[in-house]
Amino acid sequence: MIEIDHLFLLVHEDSDAWTRIDQAGFVESYRRQHPGQGTENVCYCFDNLYLELLWLTDTQQATSRPIARTKLFERSSTPRACPFGIAYRGDDLSTPHWPYRPPYLAAGASLPVATDSDDLAQPLIFKSPHGIAPILRESGSEVPLQRAAGMTAATRITFRLPRSVPPSDSLLELEQRTILELEPGASYEFILEIQTAHGQPLNFQLSGA
């Protein structure tokens, strides 16, 4: 079985993602730095996955030999590059991958990254080191889930790619095996359908433009 573990969006200080997050009433779950990768994040955990806003803090680290193939720097700075990433957990994808070994991982550990993510027009797809959903991973800790904001699980993820960009084989496999659905659009965009504590779904839209 494969599940979506988290989604990330590379952002800048002037991104409207911050405003959308605030307007949605999301509760910040945690922030982390990624030593050697040159990035920091803020994460918002739902029961079954989390949303991550990611930004560059050190260009030299982000373009260093261990990190360069992720193209985080290019995704953050190149017009029309896809600024989104999709992490999955569970079984491996059947598509080719390469081992990503950022300095913040334990010695000898690596993350499988889909080879077709080398294309800047595609999202960065990789296997998360987490093996379980946030509600289980954070159980008993002080890390808040979105239940504090009246939201439980994400039940559907719609990912829109520009009409000129055909989805990669890895994206197509994720669509077949997870709650991810693909649509052509005007730009890169995620739409999360989120179940609320009252049983009514709400949609949250996050654009990469």
CATH numeric code, 2-148: 3.10.180
Give the residue extent of every domain in the chain.
Answer: 2-148
Under a CB-based contact definition with an 8 Å cutoff, are residues 23 and 7 in contact? no
CA distances from 135 to 143, 147, 156, 199 (A): 10, 10, 17, 18
Q: What confidence tens digit (pLDDT) does each residue in 92-135 have?
A: 999 999 999 999 999 989 999 999 999 999 999 999 988 899 99
pLDDT means per 10 residues in the chain (209 residues)? 97 88 93 96 96 97 97 94 97 97 93 98 95 78 85 96 97 98 96 91 88
Q: Provide the pLDDT for residue 209.
A: 62
| Predicted structure pTM score | 0.95
* Secondary element (H or E) of residue 202: strand 201-207
Q: Which long-range contacts (CB under 8 A, 24 or more apart) does 100-106 make?
A: 100/69, 100/70, 100/126, 101/66, 102/34, 102/36, 102/37, 102/66, 102/67, 103/35, 103/36, 103/37, 103/66, 104/34, 104/35, 104/36, 104/37, 105/129
